[in-house]
Structure 1
Amino acid sequence: MRHTVTLIPGDGTGPEVIAAARRVLEASGAELEWEVVEAGETALKKYGEVLPSEVLDSIRRNKVALKGPITTPVGTGFRSVNVALRQELDLYANVRPFRNWPNVPSRYQGVDLVIFRENTEDLYAGIEHMVGEDAAESIKIITRKGSQRIARAAFEYARKNGRRRVTAGHKANIMKLTDGLFLRCFYEVAQEYPEIEADDRIIDNLALQLVQKPEQYDVLVLPNLYGDILSDLCAGLVGGLGIAPGANLGETAAVFEPIHGSAPKYAGQNKVNPLATILSGVMMLEYLGEREAAERVRQAIIQVLQEGQYLTYDLGGSAGTQEMADAIVSRLVSM
């Protein structure tokens, strides 16, 4: 079956990692056709806006997209294109898996956990304003609908993938109404999945325990801001953002992208690790029902990592972005 996929190269190092992932995915055996559209700083220069309507139209039409990282200015400038995409397409579930990979340096072993981050509300809703000249106020939005559906997505994933436990992270001891609602909804949904253990941790304690004993955790479900922060922490547990993929899932569309940023200082240097983007593509293949192709790519990645000859600088090697992709493609062709 041929699949048409919206391809968003992004900016900074985005076009390089997307080019690498595209070549690997085309060698996977899946029949893919790409519809390339632009967003972010590249689109701003060409079209005068960071998120042209053509991008949203393409994703709505194709229902699936692979996206490179996009630069978001810090403190000023335009709002995050990533946040806008998630809100416009109601991509409410941000799914981020973390596991140890062979020959990837890490302080920990036995880590295999998945974060389900609510993706459309919380402080990321962007409802903020100045109060006079000397104060700024941001409003935290937590809804029953948003909390229930991200909890249900986490439990459904656990049931389908043989996971044993779902843990909610929160600060309901202090934010009793907002995080309290999130936690109550979590336990209401948990009753629908009696075979799966459900528990919760206050977010600061969860951060502590993830550093002390990450192998004990399985599936985590979190409000938007906590999920974003702990995603980077969990990437650090298994070797860094270069191997951290992600998916943004909604009822009618899905956008797959690496967790890491655009790293503009490395743009054009053929330096950054393409694995997070390639692994996001693996998640996309699974979403499309191309499980055999996804597994072939996964096995090719494992072979390249085990051999250790074509690793990027963050993994202790000296290979470039495209050289690492070439090595993965070579293993795929020989399978």
Structure 2
Amino acid sequence: MYEKITPPSTGSKITFNNGEPIVPDNPIIPFIRGDGTGIDIWPATQKVLDAAVEVAYKGERKISWFKVYAGDEACELYGTYQYLPQDTLTAIQEYGVAIKGPLTTPIGGGIRSLNVALRQIFDLYACVRPCRYYAGTPSPHKNPEKLDVIVYRENTEDIYLGIEWRQGSEIANTLIEYLNKELIPATPEHGKKQIPLDSGIGIKPISKSGSQRLVRRAIKHALQLPKHKQMVTLVHKGNIMKYTEGAFRDWGYELATSEFRASCVTERESWILSNKEKNPDLTPQANARMIDPGFDAMTEEKKAQIVKEVETVVNAIWETHGNSKWKDKVMVNDRIADSIFQQIQTRPDEYSILATMNLNGDYLSDAAAAVVGGLGMGPGANIGDQCAVFEATHGTAPKHAGLDRVNPGSVILSGVMMLEYLGWQEAANLVKKGLGDAIANRQVTYDLARLMEPPVEPLKCSEFAEAIIKHFS
């Protein structure tokens, strides 16, 4: 089955049932060391994870690690340009859960990004990025502890699907001509718009099925959180891109109010119900005026639509969600993408789970990570219905490779996400406690040490791992 690698002689496979992992006590988990600083941060990560599992379960559970290859290290073993060998793909597919360090993006033709390739090959449609603050971590923000969000980023669609054509290519020119002469004039809302003839062309597909499976996973996650954190915010630019980003918002609401009707309430529904609770005799027209301040300036047709919305909500869910019952439901709302960037800084404690499309999610997850201390502390997971890959969210930083100095926090916290995904919460909690206590005691690597006031003597990467383990107890 494998050309150059051999699975562990002990351990069992993780299987899946309806998108959920069934985990044995001794799972075999493939790992990719990673390029550049992966040589330092993976050994530190493995040591911390193994120690946490041992302390938590006293030998009753154990991970059997299976080394597989990708990136530059794969080329050394498999040959030039073999950045993602079949052995690795087979192992991830067979064992279901994997973890990896940072990977180099290949230069030249072929694979555009190894990370994107893995997501698309295994249909890992949900990129999950928690952003929470650990006390003592240097941050450019005054109150970073107020931000505790999880970004659910759609992973397989949007412009990251990579369907595009170079400016001046035959296909690009043909498409532009066809769009300008046939399709754009045939759509009245586009008016006299024309695409410049010297343009590159990219396609931005957003599907209903892709959008709803992401929102479904986000809502399921929200249901597992404490009551005060049960909120899903649909992030989009639907005010401009109505049939892609706007559709993502609409499809998210549709899923929440159909499949999760008993567990969810939308923000507008909560306004309608709250208004009626405060004044049981409130007419639908008066309620409509309260939820839409511009109601009196609307056309009669639009007014009728809002009144109808109020009547429909009250008739449909007053019995199940009224009289403040909606306060115990998952709140689903939406925000414009550019607005949410400022709100995670100015009103961070108002958000919990942010569900977004690919490009917006890429920007937003890095911005949120910056608030709580940077990508060095940012974990990530790519999850599908039959596979999950946990990963570092930062780059390879080759100039620091082999110096035992970089922060392994991103991969360690990705390992925490993996432990939680396995259902091994006790081990995950130990790592979070150990890491948090190490930082609070100013036992950190150089990237954090130099930003502390006053600066402290940094630990080596391996020493940071040891400090985390010592704080388990």
Would you say same fold, with TM above 0.5?
A: yes
| Correspondent of 1:16 among 40, 44, 57 | 40
Which secondary structure does the structure 2 equivalent of 1:158 belong to? helix
Aligned pairs for 1:305-316 within 5 A: 305-308=439-442, 310-316=443-449
Instruction: Return the alpha-carbon distance in structure 1 between the equivalents of residues 373 and 105 of structure 2.
Output: 24
Determine if the alignment matches structure 1 residue 241 to structure 2 residue 375.
Answer: yes
| Correspondent of 1:320 among 460, 463, 472 | 460
Instruction: Return the alpha-carbon distance in structure 1 between the equivalents of residues 248 and 71 of structure 2.
Output: 32
CA offsets, 1:148-191, max 9 Å, x none?
Answer: 00011111100112332111111111111111221111111221
CA RMSD of the aligned region, Å?
1.6
Instruction: Return the alpha-carbon distance in structure 1 between the equivalents of residues 439 and 130 of structure 2.
Output: 18
Which residue of the partner structure matches residue 84 of structure 2?
51
Instruction: Return the alpha-carbon distance in structure 1 between the equivalents of residues 215 and 394 of structure 2.
Output: 25
Which residue of the partner structure matches residue 225 of structure 2?
161
Determine if the alignment matches structure 1 residue 182 to structure 2 residue 233.
Answer: no
Instruction: Return the alpha-carbon distance in structure 2 between the equivalents of residues 41 and 79 of structure 1.
Output: 14
Which residue of the partner structure matches residue 86 of structure 1?
119
Which secondary structure does the structure 2 equivalent of 1:293 belong to? helix
Instruction: Return the alpha-carbon distance in structure 1 between the equivalents of residues 399 and 255 of structure 2.
Output: 44
Determine if the alignment matches structure 1 residue 39 to structure 2 residue 70.
Answer: yes
Which residue of the partner structure matches residue 267 of structure 2?
none
The one-letter code of the counterpart of 2:168 is G
**Shift of residue 44 of structure 1?**
2.7
The one-letter code of the counterpart of 1:281 is G
The structure with more radius of gyration: 2
Aligned residues with identical type, % of pairs: 45
Determine if the alignment matches structure 1 residue 298 to structure 2 residue 298.
Answer: no
**Shift of residue 283 of structure 1?**
0.9
The one-letter code of the counterpart of 1:226 is N
Aligned pairs for 1:1-335 within 5 A: 1-28=25-52, 29=54, 30-47=61-78, 48=80, 49-73=82-106, 78-106=111-139, 107=141, 108=143, 109-132=145-168, 134-162=198-226, 163-191=229-257, 192=260, 193-194=263-264, 195-308=329-442, 310-316=443-449, 317=456, 318-332=458-472, 335=473
**Shift of residue 147 of structure 1?**
0.1
**Shift of residue 135 of structure 1?**
3.3
**Shift of residue 78 of structure 1?**
3.8
Q: TM-score, normalised by structure 1?
A: 0.95
Which secondary structure does the structure 2 equivalent of 1:11 belong to? coil
**Structure 2 unmatched runs, 5+:** 1-24, 55-60, 170-197, 265-328, 450-455
Alpha-carbon contact 2:102-2:392 (below 8 Å) kept: yes
**Shift of residue 77 of structure 1?**
6.8
Instruction: Return the alpha-carbon distance in structure 1 between the equivalents of residues 201 and 447 of structure 2.
Output: 38
The one-letter code of the counterpart of 1:103 is G
**Shift of residue 45 of structure 1?**
3.8
The one-letter code of the counterpart of 2:39 is P
The one-letter code of the counterpart of 1:181 is A
CA offsets, 1:175-211, max 9 Å, x none?
Answer: 1111122111111122123211111111111112122
**Shift of residue 258 of structure 1?**
1.9
Which secondary structure does the structure 2 equivalent of 1:27 belong to? helix
Instruction: Return the alpha-carbon distance in structure 2 between the equivalents of residues 230 and 75 of structure 1.
Output: 28
Moved more, 150-159 or 7-16: 7-16
Dislocated runs of 4+, deviation >6 Å:
74-77
CA offsets, 1:13-67, max 9 Å, x none?
Answer: 1231111100111111240111101101221343231111111111111111011
CA offsets, 1:248-287, max 9 Å, x none?
Answer: 1111111111211112222122221111111110111111
Q: TM-score, normalised by structure 2?
A: 0.68
Which secondary structure does the structure 1 equivalent of 2:386 belong to? coil
CA offsets, 1:61-83, max 9 Å, x none?
Answer: 11110110101157977410000
Which secondary structure does the structure 1 equivalent of 2:166 belong to? strand
Alpha-carbon contact 2:147-2:344 (below 8 Å) kept: no
- Greater strand percent: which structure? 1
The one-letter code of the counterpart of 1:170 is H
The alignment covers a number of residue pairs equal to: 332
**Structure 1 unmatched runs, 5+:** none
Instruction: Return the alpha-carbon distance in structure 1 between the equivalents of residues 86 and 108 of structure 2.
Output: 25
Instruction: Return the alpha-carbon distance in structure 1 between the equivalents of residues 75 and 469 of structure 2.
Output: 33
Instruction: Return the alpha-carbon distance in structure 1 between the equivalents of residues 152 and 256 of structure 2.
Output: 15
